[in-house]
Each structure stands twice: as structure tokens, then as C-alpha cells.
Chains A and B, each alone.
Chain A
């Protein structure tokens, strides 16, 4: 066994030192590539999720709910989100069984006071706060506004990660993030003019929902990354969905069933007994389970700010998948937005691998 160490002395110091430097660079580059690749998978699967996620509304029992029945639509959203979360949990169980991490899931879940409580908080931010907020934005203003407001979540995530635990956001990463958000606004922006209606008295609820979705998803990343300091990302996402199932199943849905006249039990039974609705839920859950797995895995390698910014490319992939399945092709400005989002991604990826290898400014005052 031959060793080449940075502390060892060699007669011919150039070759071993060069080999070591080259090996170190390759190591950091590989981690950076894996981090960006996981983030890109997040965007692809998030975009793919829109196809079954939207198709579900065309199936019984959801197809019968009129657009103006706001409370029933929100109740239906809660029901489909809960059944969806249970299905995601099963896909994650399969994933962790294959990776041999099911025991570690149990070991992490039981440490609620110190670790898994953060995943519970992440599930509250990403589930009820962000998804509910997004549906408010869709319902009271429109889907384009909802899509645009969600594009800002990486800024929230990066700012919280910076202030809370000193995640390093380089100038290049910040510029890349801004270019990606700008590209997303070009894609969705022109559609916004058709949605804004000054005479709408409930528009403020839509704006509030938009803010909730950006804060919810941004905060989720920062909170989850805090727990992933000391736990595994594959296990972490499994914990997060376990808590989401409990929030909807034990608190929100029973409260809606008990204190309102909304047909919660009927919606649940009609969903699980209807093959086509369940087929779309299973397909959506498969996309969502592995989209979120990739999302969390990217945080631990490239940080919350970069992971969420690359994840924002979902805006591009969603339109590509929708065009592929429905033949509804996007407008010409989609290409312009696409150019900006790809350019922003390359700006982020052009950071040196060594700078991405240390994500935290742990020596900064107030880092811990």
C-alpha cells in the first residue's frame, strides 16, 4: 500500500503533489456535479408532476367541483394532498428499503425533540403553508400569479440559510439565482396581464397566498437543511412526509370534517375507490417522492440557495411536459425565458468546485 500525503516529504515533490491536487479537485468537482445533478432531477420531476397533478382535476370526484365553489375546492385539495402524501410515503419506503436506510429512518424519527421536529416544521412549511398558499394564489388571482410568486422561494431560502446558519452565497451564485428567476418571469410574466383584475375585492387573499407559498417553500429548505446537518437526506425526506401525513390526517382533515359541513369522508372514499383518480395520484406521487428526495440530497452537497435556484427550472420543464402530453405549445417568449434560465444555471455551475465544498461560513461571528 503506497501513500501520498500532504504532510509527507518526497524526493520528487512535483508528481505526488500534483497527483494529490488533481485528485482533490476531481473529488470536489464530483460532489459539485452530483449536487447540481440532484437539483436538476428535482426540476425535471417537479415539471413532470404537473401532468398527473393537473389531470387529477379531470377525474371523478374532483371534476364535478365547480371553479366558484372555493371552500369545496380547498377541501378537495386537502384530501388529495393527504392521499398523495401517503402514496409518496410508500414510494420513499421502497427507496429507503433498497438503500438499506429503513432502520436509520426509525432511529431518526424517534429523536423528535432534537432532530425530527425540524422535519415536522419543514413539512408544515412545505405542506399546509406553501401548498395552501399556492392554491389561494391560484384561486383568488390565477395560476400564472401563483407560478410567478413561487419563483421567488429560493431568495427566501437563501436569505434564511445565510442569516440562520451562515450559508455562503457567492456573488456568482446570487447572480445565477437572479437570472433564473428573471427567466421564469419571462416565461410566465406576459400571462399575468390577463389575470390581474383591479375590481377583484378578494385579490389581497391571492397576494397573501403568493407570499405564503414563497415563504413556505423557501423556509422548508432552510429548516430541513438544519436537520440534515446531523441526519441523512433520504431519511430526512421520509420523516418530512411522515409528519405531513399526520398533520393532514390527524389535525386538518378531522377538523374540517367535525367543524364544517364539507364532505371530507365522501371525498376520501370516492378518491380511493376510483381507479383513474388513484392512477394519477400514484403517478404524481412517484414524481413527487423522487423530486423531493433529489431536492433534499442537493441541499447537503451544494446548499439550500443553489439547490432551490436550480430547482426553479421546474418552470421550464412543466411547460415542456405539458406540451409533450397535451400538444399545447408555449408562446414564443418561452424560448427567451429558457435561454435565461439555462444561462443562470451555467453561471451557478461555473463556481469553483472548491468553493462549493464548504457551504458554511462557520468561522463568521454568530455562526452558531
Chain B
């Protein structure tokens, strides 16, 4: 069975070091074979929740014009607290 989606977001960040939100969302949608704006929004909220809880940090932000819309993008990295919580919850093995 696949890991739950919030867990996958953390694992993907742990593997890649730093990622922009749209890269993380694209990876996750591909992993779970999902599509659509609603799913993208759901994952975007999950990233906001992870950042608010201190598990991931926003290290850079930018405004991007997509079509006729201006979108705010964040670059994330896993925090030390996030690594610790991943170990606690079995997403990472203790080293």
C-alpha cells in the first residue's frame, strides 16, 4: 500500500532537498495517478498545513504568470523538526 499523501510530500522533499510547490504537486499527482485543479488545490493546502506546523520551511517565493493569472509560488525544504517528526511517525528510519 502506498504511503498517505501528506507523508509522500515529506518523503519527496526529503529525497530532493528543495522543491517548488508546483514540482511537488506534479510529482504527487503522478505518483497517485490523479489530475485536476481540485486535487492540486488539496495538495497546496496540505503544503500550507505542513509549513504552518513547522515541518517544512519556505525558503523562497515568487510570482508567476500562468495564463491570465498571477500565482504565488513557494520553494520548500524539510526542516530539522520535520525530519524528527518523520522519524517519530515511521516515515524515515532513525540514523
Question: What residues make up the interface of A, taking CB atoms closer than 8 Å to B?
Answer: 1-8, 16, 19-20, 23-24, 27, 31, 99-100, 104, 106-108, 110-111, 113-115, 228-233, 235, 300-301, 303, 356-360, 362, 367-368
Q: Which of A114, A228, A235, A303 has the most CB of B within 10 A?
A: A114
For residue B6, CB closer than 8 A to chain A, the reply is yes
For residue B79, CB closer than 8 A to chain A, the reply is yes
- Which of chain A's residues has its CB closest to B9's CB? A230
> Do the beta carbons of B6 and A359 come within 8 Å of each other?
no
Q: Mark B5-46, 1 if CB is under 8 A from A, else 0.
A: 111001000000000000000000000001000110010001
> Do the beta carbons of A229 and B2 come within 8 Å of each other?
no
With A231-B7, A235-B4 known as contacts, the answer to whether A357 contacts B65 (CB < 8 A) is no
Q: Mark B32-66, 1 if CB is under 8 A from A, else 0.
A: 00100011001000101111111100001111111
Nearest Cβ on chain B to A214's Cβ, whole angstroms: 25
Nearest Cβ on chain A to B26's Cβ, whole angstroms: 15
> Do the beta carbons of B63 and A16 come within 8 Å of each other?
yes
Report the contact-size class of chain B (Cβ under 8 Å from the partner): 35 or more
Nearest Cβ on chain A to B47's Cβ, whole angstroms: 11
Nearest Cβ on chain A to B45's Cβ, whole angstroms: 8
> Do the beta carbons of A6 and B61 come within 8 Å of each other?
yes
Please name all residues of chain B whose beta carbon is closer than 8 Å to the beta carbon of A232 when the two chains form the complex: 4-6, 46
Nearest Cβ on chain A to B42's Cβ, whole angstroms: 7
Question: Out of B6, B60, B61, which one reaches A230, CB within 8 Å?
Answer: B6
> Do the beta carbons of A27 and B60 come within 8 Å of each other?
no
Using a CB-CB cutoff of 8 Å, which residues 66-95 of chain B contact chain A?
A: 66, 70, 72, 79-81, 84-86, 88-91
Please name all residues of chain A whose beta carbon is closer than 8 Å to the beta carbon of B10 when the two chains form the complex: 230
Please name all residues of chain A whose beta carbon is closer than 8 Å to the beta carbon of B86 when the two chains form the complex: 230
Question: Out of A1, A106, A229, which one reaches B55, CB within 8 Å?
Answer: A229
- A8 and B6 CA atoms in complex are apart in Å by 30
With A230-B89, A232-B46 known as contacts, the answer to whether A4 contacts B3 (CB < 8 A) is no
- A367 and B79 CA atoms in complex are apart in Å by 12
> Do the beta carbons of A108 and B4 come within 8 Å of each other?
yes
Question: Out of B38, B52, B80, B85, which one reaches A300, CB within 8 Å?
Answer: B52
> Do the beta carbons of A229 and B53 come within 8 Å of each other?
yes
Question: What residues make up the interface of B, taking CB atoms closer than 8 Å to A?
Answer: 1-7, 10, 34, 38-39, 42, 46, 48-55, 60-66, 70, 72, 79-81, 84-86, 88-91
> Do the beta carbons of B62 and A20 come within 8 Å of each other?
yes
- Which of chain A's residues has its CB closest to B62's CB? A5
> Do the beta carbons of A115 and B89 come within 8 Å of each other?
yes
Q: List 10 A-B contacts (CB under 8 A).
A: A3-B63, A6-B62, A27-B72, A104-B4, A107-B7, A230-B10, A359-B53, A362-B79, A362-B81, A368-B80
> Do the beta carbons of A114 and B88 come within 8 Å of each other?
yes
Please name all residues of chain B whose beta carbon is closer than 8 Å to the beta carbon of A6 when the two chains form the complex: 60-62
Please name all residues of chain A whose beta carbon is closer than 8 Å to the beta carbon of B34 when the two chains form the complex: 100
Q: Which of B39, B52, B72 has the most CB of A within 10 A?
A: B52
- A140 and B49 CA atoms in complex are apart in Å by 42
9 new A-B contacts at CB < 8 Å, known A111-B90, A230-B6, A233-B49: A3-B64, A5-B62, A20-B63, A111-B89, A230-B10, A230-B86, A232-B5, A301-B52, A358-B54
- A273 and B78 CA atoms in complex are apart in Å by 53
Please name all residues of chain B whose beta carbon is closer than 8 Å to the beta carbon of A115 when the two chains form the complex: 4, 89-90
Nearest Cβ on chain A to B73's Cβ, whole angstroms: 8
Nearest Cβ on chain A to B57's Cβ, whole angstroms: 9
- A8 and B63 CA atoms in complex are apart in Å by 11
- A228 and B45 CA atoms in complex are apart in Å by 13
> Do the beta carbons of A24 and B72 come within 8 Å of each other?
yes
Nearest Cβ on chain A to B58's Cβ, whole angstroms: 9
- A100 and B33 CA atoms in complex are apart in Å by 12
> Do the beta carbons of A368 and B65 come within 8 Å of each other?
no
Please name all residues of chain B whose beta carbon is closer than 8 Å to the beta carbon of A99 when the two chains form the complex: 42
With A31-B52, A362-B54 known as contacts, the answer to whether A1 contacts B66 (CB < 8 A) is yes
Instruction: Name the 10 nearest CB pairs between A and B, nearest first.
Output: A114-B90, A5-B62, A360-B54, A362-B54, A4-B63, A362-B81, A107-B4, A300-B49, A368-B84, A2-B65
Question: Out of B53, B65, B84, which one reaches A1, CB within 8 Å?
Answer: B65
Q: Which of B3, B39, B51, B72 has the most CB of A within 10 A?
A: B72
- A1 and B72 CA atoms in complex are apart in Å by 13
